Amino acid sequence: MAKLSKSASKKAPKKKRSNKKKNNASPEELLHYYQQMLLIRRFEEKAGQLYGMGLIGGFCHLYIGQEAVVVGMQATAGENDSVITSYRCHAHMLACDMDPKGVMAELTGRQDGLSKGKGGSMHMFSLEKRFFGGHGIVGAQIPLGTGLAFANLYRKDGGLCHAYCGDGAINQGQIYEAFNMASLWKLPVIYVIENNKYGMGTSVERASAVTELYKRGDSFGIPGEQVDGMDVLAVKTAAEKAAAWCRTGKGPFILEMKTYRYRGHSMSDPAKYRDKEEVSKVRKESDPIDNLRDRILSTKVATEAQLKDTDKDLKMIVTAAAEFAQQSQEPDPAELYTDILLEA
């Protein structure tokens, strides 16, 4: 086994940003990714707005800036694949095709929310879409996702798990216990590290002794690759490679997505640990949506007017979701005592 993983990591692509890879998407696909990323952005903007109005409570972690990661990953998702992530989860649900209305109604804590209003912003699930949460405890989803992959292998259903975590989470000890078993047992799991440079107010450099996070599988023989997480096509290319690796029985694969979050850690983070220039520079130079938009326009896949219409349509979808989420009733008080145990 040790031999196998050695040759595995040899064959595995090493640190190389893959944004130079040739465009591997059809015009329809490009428009689809654009539409998905913009939906996420508009949705999150609206969520921020509803939070400010007191309609969303507790914590609320927005994904603005990171849209290319989940959209690029989902571009390769197969039938029995599953997704699991942290509390920063709204985008993953939208990318898993979950209804924006159900997501927004969960954010407002109403009965039509995906968890009937009982889970909230950080804890949402859809068995139908094979989305296994939204987890509030940093790092917990990595062993859980490894277990989902264990189930894929056990049933031999050809599926794999996309298990996401942050650059802060990657230091949690339980992750390395999971890595070891995933590699030992050749579990089909892609660990997606969303390196947005900060875990709350702590930069990667202040939290990690070795900051090349794609190397974190080295001791376990898990190959890793660093990816430009602001480029949806680079993400897709990397995801295809990792998925092929997992689906051919070679075990887990790590993708470190270099990305960035524009907003604070949660709605209540004043983000004093970075200066505004840092944020505006990324926004201006590397915005994943602007990047794709430029590509679409320069390759004449769509016109400016068409893209404007797309935006208009998405704004309507999001506004409708927000209205739905405000009109939906609060859960029935009897719901307090349901869903605690199943009848044996």
Partner 1 sequence: MAIQILMPALSPTMTEGKLAKWVKDEGDAVESGDVIAEIETDKATMEFEAVDDGVLGKILVAEGTDGVAVNTPIAIVLEDGEDISAADSIAVAPGAEPAPETTPELTAKAAPVTQLSASNPDSPQPMEYKGATTALTIREALRDAMAEEMRRDETVFLMGEEVAEYQGAYKVSQGLLEEFGAERVIDTPITEHGFAGIGVGAAFGGLRPIVEFMTFNFAMQAIDHIINSAAKTLYMSGGQMGAPIVFRGTNGAASRVAAQHSQCYGAWYAQIPGLKVIAPWSGADAKGLLKAAIRDPNPVIFLENEILYGQSFDVPDDVDFVIPIGKARIERPGSDVTITAFSLMVGIALQAAEQLATEGINAEVINLRTLRPLDTGAIVDSVEKTNRIVTVEEGWPTCGIGAEIGAMLMAQAFDYLDAPVARVAGKDVPMPYAANLEALALPKAEDIVEAAKAVCYG
Kindly list the residues in this chain that would bind ligand TPP in the complex (CB under 6 A): 86, 88, 136-138, 165-169, 194, 196, 198-200, 265
- The answer to whether 202 contacts partner 1 (rule: CB under 8 A) is yes
Of the residues 1, 4, 53, 316, which one makes contact with partner 1 according to CB under 8 A: 53
Please say whether the beta carbons of 257 and 194 come within 8 A. Answer: yes
Matching residue, tokens 């509030």: 136
- The answer to whether 256 contacts Mg ion (rule: CB under 5 A) is no
Name the one range near partner 1 by CB under 8 A: 145-153, 165-173, 250-258, 296-304: 165-173
Complex with Mg ion: residue 266 or 326, whichever CB lies closer: 266
Q: Which listed option, Mg ion, ligand TPP, partner 1, none, makes contact with residue 88 (CB within 5 to 8 Å by class)?
A: ligand TPP
Chain residues 103-122 in contact with partner 1, contact rule CB under 8 A: 106, 109-110, 115, 117-122
Please say whether the beta carbons of 84 and 141 come within 8 A. Answer: yes
DSSP element (H, E) containing 244: helix 232-247
DSSP state of 83: E
Of the residues 18, 36, 152, 172, which one makes contact with partner 1 according to CB under 8 A: 172
Matching residue, tokens 């998407």: 25
Q: Which residue has the CB atom at the shortest distance from ligand TPP?
A: 166
> Quick one: tokens of 256?
């470190």
Gap between the Cα atoms of 109 and 55, Å rounded: 9
Matching residue, tokens 């989940």: 70
Cβ 228 to Mg ion shortest distance, Å: 16
Complex with Mg ion: residue 66 or 310, whichever CB lies closer: 66
Chain residues 236-295 in contact with partner 1, contact rule CB under 8 A: 262, 264, 267-268, 270, 272-273, 283
Please say whether the beta carbons of 161 and 81 come within 8 A. Answer: yes
Of the residues 6, 27, 128, 137, which one makes contact with partner 1 according to CB under 8 A: 137
- Count of residues that interact with partner 1, criterion CB under 8 A: 57
Gap between the Cα atoms of 3 and 299, Å rounded: 46
Gap between the Cα atoms of 145 and 168, Å rounded: 18
Cβ 290 to partner 1 shortest distance, Å: 13
DSSP state of 331: P
> Quick one: tokens of 18?
């893959």
Name the one range near partner 1 by CB under 8 A: 76-84, 156-164, 197-205, 213-221: 197-205
Complex with Mg ion: residue 167 or 231, whichever CB lies closer: 167
- The answer to whether 26 contacts partner 1 (rule: CB under 8 A) is no
Specify the amino acid at residue 72.
Answer: G
Of the residues 9, 13, 35, 59, which one makes contact with partner 1 according to CB under 8 A: 59
H helices of 53-99, in order, are: 67-74, 90-95
A 10 A CB-CB count for 275 gives 10
Cβ 300 to ligand TPP shortest distance, Å: 36
> Quick one: tokens of 180?
């070891």
Gap between the Cα atoms of 265 and 168, Å rounded: 12
Please say whether the beta carbons of 160 and 247 come within 8 A. Answer: yes
Gap between the Cα atoms of 202 and 245, Å rounded: 33
Provide the binding-site residues for partner 1, judged by CB under 8 A: 45-46, 48-49, 51-55, 57-59, 106, 109-110, 115, 117-123, 135-139, 168-169, 171-174, 199-202, 206-208, 262, 264, 267-268, 270, 272-273, 283, 326, 330-331, 333, 335-337, 340
Provide the binding-site residues for Mg ion, judged by CB under 5 A: 166-168, 196, 199
